[in-house]
Amino acid sequence: MIYDEDTAQQIRMCAACPKMCRHVCPTFLAWRSESPTPHGRALLLHQEIIGTRQLDDRAIDVLYQCLECSHCLTWCLPEIDIADIVETRRRQLVEEGRFPSGLNNMVDSIRTHHNPYKEPHEKRTSWLKIPKNDGRSLIYFTGCTAAYRENSIAQDAVSVLSSLGYQVGIPKDEWCCGSPLLRTGFVEDALEQARYNVEILNSMDAEEIVVTCPGCYRVLTQDYPKYGLEINKPVRHIAELLQSHLKSLPEFEIDGPVTFHDSCHLGRHSGVYEQPREVIERVSKGALVEMERNRDNAMCCGNGAGLRTLFPEHAKKIGAERVRQAERTGAKYLVTSCPFCKNMLESQAKDRLIVLDLPELVEMAKKRSHVKTD
Amino acid sequence: MLDSKIKTKIAKQLEGIVGAQYITTQETDTVLNAHDAWPLSEAKIRAGEMLPLADIVVFPGSTEEVSEVLKIANKNKVPVTPVGGGAGTCGGTLPIYGGMQLDLKRMDKVLDIDHKSMLVRVEAGMVGIDLEEEVNRHGYMLGHTPTSMRASNVGGFLATRSGGSMSSLYGKIEDLTLGLEVVLADGSIVRTKAVPRHSVGPDLRELFIGSEGTLGVITEATLRLFPIPEERRFRSMAFVDVHSGLEAIRRIFRVGIVPSVVRFYDPEDTAMAMSQHFDVKEGDSMLLLAFDGAAEKVDHEERVSVEICKENGGKDFGDGPAKRWWAHRYDMYYPTKFTTAGFSIGDTIDIVATYDKLENVYRAMKTAMEAHEAFVMSHFSHMYQNGGSIYMIFFTSQPDAETAWATYRKIWDDGVAACLREGGTMSHQHGVGLSRSTYTEDELGSSFQVLKKIKDVLDPNGIMNPGKLGLGVQQ
Ligand SMILES: Cc1cc2nc3c(=O)[nH]c(=O)nc-3n(C[C@H](O)[C@H](O)[C@H](O)COP(=O)(O)OP(=O)(O)OC[C@H]3O[C@@H](n4cnc5c(N)ncnc54)[C@H](O)[C@@H]3O)c2cc1C
Ligand code: SF4
Ligand code: SF4
């Protein structure tokens, strides 16, 4: 059995739960069926563990329909983490060669191009303009989404960091952090990326590493060490870094309320809730309005753990719902602290909300304010 | 189970109605959609038993689609089990004769809020908590607060004739519903007008409330709304015995005060639910009260209720225990290591009786259930001017599955028999489903034949949820 006794007991308990957390599971919302739910997933695994019924292809789909967002955990009194339980089984499914074929493109792309988007590796960060600065040295690990899909996040991050006096270094040859692989069960492939990144990052001379992607953040700070890969510098998410410079951040008169979307990797999985909020409050002069579901009760954007790759229409349904929740606040801006979330939310917001990532908001403030930053 | 050729044929026809992505014949889906929250099903799942499965699960998106689906089922005499939120406690959604499960979860929209009349028209598949949150955004509440809010949906609330913990003040689901839309077994769509009341013959709306899917599929409802009260105040009182607490409750109602919450825990339940957090004397019984409304009204109701409680020996515990219960009211439904260990099984027999019989029913049931080495604890939970309900909660742990299921059944048999013998009614709010199906005829007595005749007329082929509510048991 791949689960230890305690986890097997948790799965057994969840398999008999009267669905106490189902109402927040985004995949229940997207499918409106009992199958892709926390309880449903546990029930399939429990039946497999005690030998009642093996997983068939449909059951494997149900496991791969999980966003691994851990929203169910927030509502689970016995603290059963379905995301972790699902990921454990996914690892085994990959070993057994029984993962959904829809993942092949993503895996092949990371193997070949070191990004999930089939983009040429050499174009990863070559376009980034890095201003000269002789302040404290810092490495910016861009991550694939900011590098290939959300360029302005990367560019604005560099610009904001430089304004704060940092000498920003970009790894010459950064690879995918491995997050999409780890979350879908491809550990060996992920570790290949990871080992390379650790070697590159450890060989660079800098005081710390900053990331804009919470997926990278979680992997670099939690998964790498779990697999014995230690990075020899502190790693911070840009929200944490910006918050530590709060007084130096620009302020501006923003033309409407701002709401904040917590990404699952930064929020529930890393416990970073207040820092991005403090940054928004500072730069927007107190324009933050909260969604009903926020912090550890925030709904996932729908992009996580392979869902958009495998079930794009359902992923978008979840993104659209999160946008509706944001609209309900009356906000004009929807700010997040994750390029991946931003990408999804912007695609669903169309022109109803202006969707920005945190560095973009700060850069906007910088351009529109007259406050000098040090 | 359906013959595979027929199954394929029907599945194809259903696909034509709802679209291929909204029908499934995959075993995994039938396994996951089969059960509700019947404790016996949950215990069997833990023990590794397979539950009865449907051949097909279909997810219609509109009343018209429900109608077309039923026409096909009726023509082919295929059993249909409606599925709401799948959190009923009586096995109502178990497709014991296979066939089709008709799941309403896609019908999840608020259709209209009538601010002037304070009504909401909503599709049957909307989950309770989603509806409550939506009406809260407009300054209203439903007044329906069953602890299954997070999982059950509007259709399920209606089909089981449910009652929330604030039913004393706001009413049970039948009091909260003005109009209904139902699809009958032959596919015809029936609407009852949403009016405060009428005198145009019997109220046919009531026929479908509590029908548990045996007479038709509820697709839409018009429900009452209440402004969110200015204040909700809690108060708690401990009594030396069950009798004096019940007397206090009876008198509170008698002077015309209607608290929103009246929950009275017997000594065992008080020990289980309260003594960890509050300094309650062993053997005492705790009464939890809440009062809703404008401050002046609440002041008055609280003051008079406290006086009555004190006259009956009540010891004041302030707002603590009642407030804590409200904040933690969902907690007791989560699985724990203790309640899910080995072949443990528990359940609740939620009976109702008038005040003249209530205490006798309680004592008789407790004795009958405890005779099977069950741990029994109870609270009087939904109280009214003329009587109220008791949650007779039991728990037993046995060495093997066979003994556990048999003991469970004996506790039920003897508990219900004691209830009926003493003049109680076997369910206040959970319904009948499968767990009480065989007792229905005894419970309803002469009126059972009326129900049966109605069933025969509305569903001559017996396709609607056969085996539940004592109806349509197939050979
Ligand atoms: C944790 C928990 C707490 C609970 N607390 C309460 C409580 O406080 N008060 C209370 O009254 N009950 C309570 N219940 C019991 C139960 O949840 C309710 O009775 C609820 O109304 C069932 O609704 P559902 O949507 O889950 O129904 P389901 O379980 O899906 O179905 C119940 C029955 O109704 C039929 N049905 C469902 N939808 C329709 C429809 N649209 N048309 C026709 N038939 C239909 C089904 O076939 C089945 O027979 C609780 C249950 C749980 C698990
Ligand atoms: S995760 Fe927790 S709350 Fe959710 S179904 Fe499982 S046991 Fe219940
Ligand atoms: S981790 Fe997210 S998607 Fe997965 S079961 Fe929990 S709430 Fe649902």
A122-134 pLDDT per residue, tens: 999 999 999 988 8
Give A374's pLDDT tier (boundaries 50, 70, 90).
very low
Contact A16 B85 (CB under 8 A): no
* DSSP per-residue codes, B117-171: TTEEEEETT-BHHHHHHHHHTTTEE-S---TTTTT-BHHHHHHTT---TTHHHH-
Report CA(B151)–ligand 1 centroid distance (Å): 9
Report CA(A55)–ligand 2 centroid distance (Å): 20
The ligand with the least distance to the CA atom of B79 is 1
Phi-psi region of B2 (alpha: psi -120 to 50; beta: other; left: phi over 0): beta
Query: Is B28 at the interface with chain A, CB within 8 A?
Result: yes
Q: Which residues of B touch A62 (CB under 8 A)?
A: 28, 32
Contact B45 A43 (CB under 8 A): yes
Query: Is B37 at the interface with chain A, CB within 8 A?
Result: yes
Q: Measure the CA–CA gap between B217 and B302, rounded to whole angstroms.
A: 42
**B313/chain A closest Cα distance in angstroms:** 36
10 Å Cβ neighbour count for B198?
A: 10
Ligand 2, pocket residues at CB < 6 Å = A 13-14, 17, 19-21, 38-39, 42, 72, 75-76, 78, 80, 82; B 335
Q: For B231-332, CATH number?
A: 3.30.70.3450
10 Å Cβ neighbour count for B367?
A: 13
Q: Measure the CA–CA gap between A158 and B168, rounded to whole angstroms.
A: 62
Report pLDDT for A305.
80
Mean pLDDT of B298-316: 98
What are the respective helix, strand and coil percentages of chain A, to the nearest 5? 50, 10, 40
Report CA(B148)–ligand 2 centroid distance (Å): 14
Q: Which residues of B touch A35 (CB under 8 A)?
A: 28-29, 32-33
Mean pLDDT of B2-20: 96
pTM score over 0.90? yes
Report CA(A20)–ligand 2 centroid distance (Å): 6
Give A373's pLDDT tier (boundaries 50, 70, 90).
very low
Q: Could you tell me the residue ranges of all domains in chain A?
A: 5-99, 121-243, 251-369
Q: Which residues of A touch B125 (CB under 8 A)?
A: 32
- Which residues, other chains included, contact B138 with Cβ-Cβ below 8 Å and sequence gap of 6+? B113, B115
Q: pLDDT above 90 covers what percent of chain A? A: 95
> ipTM of the predicted structure?
0.96
Q: B349 near B392, Cβ under 8 Å?
A: yes
Phi-psi region of A217 (alpha: psi -120 to 50; beta: other; left: phi over 0): alpha
User: In the predicted model, is pLDDT for residue A172 greater than 90?
Assistant: no
Closest listed residue to residue B54, CA positions, set B12, B4, B96, B20: B96
Find the CB nearest B151 among A22, A52, A53.
A22
Residue to substitute from B36, B42, B53, B334, interface A, most A β-carbons within 10 A: B334
Report pLDDT for A370.
60
Q: For A121-243, CATH number?
A: 3.40.50.1860
Which of the following CATH numbers is that of domain B335-435: 3.30.460.10, 3.30.300.330, 3.40.50.1170, 3.40.50.1220? 3.30.300.330
Q: For A251-369, CATH number?
A: 3.40.50
Same fold, A121-243 and A251-369: yes
Residues present in chain B in total: 475
Report pLDDT for B1.
83
DSSP state letter for B355: H
**B299/chain A closest Cα distance in angstroms:** 32
Ligand 1: residue of B150, B162, B380 to mutate (most ligand atoms within 8 A of CB) is B162
Q: Name the fold adopted by B1-228.
A: 3.30.465
Find the CB nearest B335 among A40, A78, A292.
A78
Find the CB nearest A50 among B48, B137, B333.
B48
Contact A14 B335 (CB under 8 A): yes
For residue A13, the ligand 2 atom closest to its alpha carbon is: 7
Q: Could you tell me the residue ranges of all domains in chain B?
A: 1-228, 231-332, 335-435
User: In the predicted model, is pLDDT for residue A190 greater than 60?
Assistant: yes
